[in-house]
């Protein structure tokens, strides 16, 4: 019964795989809850700093921060691609990278230069493989997004913008809609769009111009707030991406466990059939032998 032993070994190996995928599913589920929590916690900061930036963009007219000025000609584009560090999370990274590559091709066709900043291992590996111009990258972030790790990479981009190396900066990441649905999105980071700031006005926005006292001076304070605002936007994108990653992994691993269950059922059926066939064959041989005697 060589055939049935092989089938038995196969069943055992599929069962082991199923154990792993099931464990990964549960780990992803608990990490997802934490990631969602972090995403929720990061929101108030994002909202508050947007309010302040919105008030400020109206308050002070003598100094307009470069992040707020829209440029007419767009020749060089900087993009931030947020991906996960690890794989086994379904089509999450593929989808966002495909979107980025399509956009990059379109921009290149228009003769624009593109420089890429990668957050996450998968995107970094992919971008350097396709020969994109990677100017900065942040990898192995772990499960907790750390703003401190982002500062350097973000500053490279922001400096590039203030020094006219880029005319536009976009960010690609996966937005967390719900546990079952995550969608890749592209958003414009710089120049800061007016609609985005207007959303920060809220119902009290009609109050008119804020006339702030700036201490010690207007320019450094405004600069600081703008940098923090962009950082907060990227940080939020990262927290969303991490929540998306965990839920995508959970769904992918659940599908893998279910598939393994199906395979085991089929194999068990084949195994039983072959065993039954062997028994029948043996019996008929005995009966045949007895008849011959």
- The values of phi and psi at residue 202, to 5°, are 70, -170
Which one of the listed residues 89, 158, 232, 256 is annotated catalytic?
Answer: 89
Interface region with other proteins, contact rule CB under 8 A, candidates 14-22, 82-90, 171-179, 227-235: 227-235
Query: CB of 42 within 8 A of CB of 235?
Result: yes
Query: CB of 21 within 8 A of CB of 259?
Result: no
Residue with tokens 């769009």, as numbered in its chain: 193
Which of 24, 32, 42, 252 binds other proteins (CB under 8 A)? It is 42
Which of 32, 138, 243, 252 binds other proteins (CB under 8 A)? It is 138
Q: How far is CA 155 from CA 46, 276, 280, in A?
A: 18, 70, 76
Q: Is residue 228 close enough to count as binding other proteins by CB under 8 A? A: yes
Which of 62, 72, 148, 195 binds other proteins (CB under 8 A)? It is 148
Residues 11-40 that bind other proteins (CB under 8 A): 38
In angstroms, what is the minimal distance from the CB of 42 to other proteins?
6
- The values of phi and psi at residue 42, to 5°, are -75, -15
Active site residue 118: no
Q: What CA–CA distance (Å, rounded) separates 88 from 37? A: 22
Q: Is residue 212 close enough to count as binding other proteins by CB under 8 A? A: yes
Which of 156, 185, 263, 264 binds other proteins (CB under 8 A)? It is 156
Residue with tokens 């996960």, as numbered in its chain: 84
Q: 51 in helix, strand or coil?
A: helix
Binding string, residues 43-82; x marks residues near other proteins by CB under 8 A = -xx--xx-xx--xx--x-----------------------
Which residues belong to the active site? 89
């Amino acid at each position: 019964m060589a055939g049935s032993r092989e089938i038995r070994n196969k069943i055992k190996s599929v069962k082991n795989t199923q154990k792993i995928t099931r464990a990964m599913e549960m780990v992803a589920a608990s990490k997802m809850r934490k990631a969602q929590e972090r995403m929720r916690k990061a929101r108030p900061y994002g909202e508050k700093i947007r309010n302040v930036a919105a008030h400020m963009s109206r308050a002070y007219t003598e100094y307009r921060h470069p992040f707020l000025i829209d440029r007419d000609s767009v020749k060089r584009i900087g993009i931030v691609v947020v991906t996960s560090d690890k794989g086994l999370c379904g089509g999450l990274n593929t989808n966002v990278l495909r979107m980025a590559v399509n956009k990059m091709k379109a921009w290149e066709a228009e003769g624009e230069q593109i420089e890429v900043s990668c957050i996450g291992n998968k995107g970094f590996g992919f971008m350097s493989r396709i020969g994109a111009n990677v100017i900065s990258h942040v990898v192995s972030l772990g499960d907790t997004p750390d703003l401190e790790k982002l500062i350097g990479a973000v500053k490279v981009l922001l400096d590039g913008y203030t020094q006219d190396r880029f005319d536009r900066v976009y960010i690609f990441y996966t937005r967390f809609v719900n546990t079952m649905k995550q969608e890749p999105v592209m958003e414009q980071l710089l120049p800061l769009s007016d609609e985005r700031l207007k959303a920060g006005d809220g119902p009290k926005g009609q109050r008119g111009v804020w006339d702030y006292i700036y201490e010690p001076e207007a320019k450094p304070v405004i600069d600081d707030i703008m940098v923090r605002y962009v950082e907060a936007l990227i940080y939020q994108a990262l927290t969303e991406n991490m929540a998306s990653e965990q839920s995508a992994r959970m769904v992918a691993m659940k599908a893998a466990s279910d598939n393994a269950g199906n395979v085991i059922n089929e194999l068990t059926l084949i195994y039983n059939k072959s065993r039954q066939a062997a028994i029948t064959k043996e019996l008929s041989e005995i009966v045949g032998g007895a008849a011959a005697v």
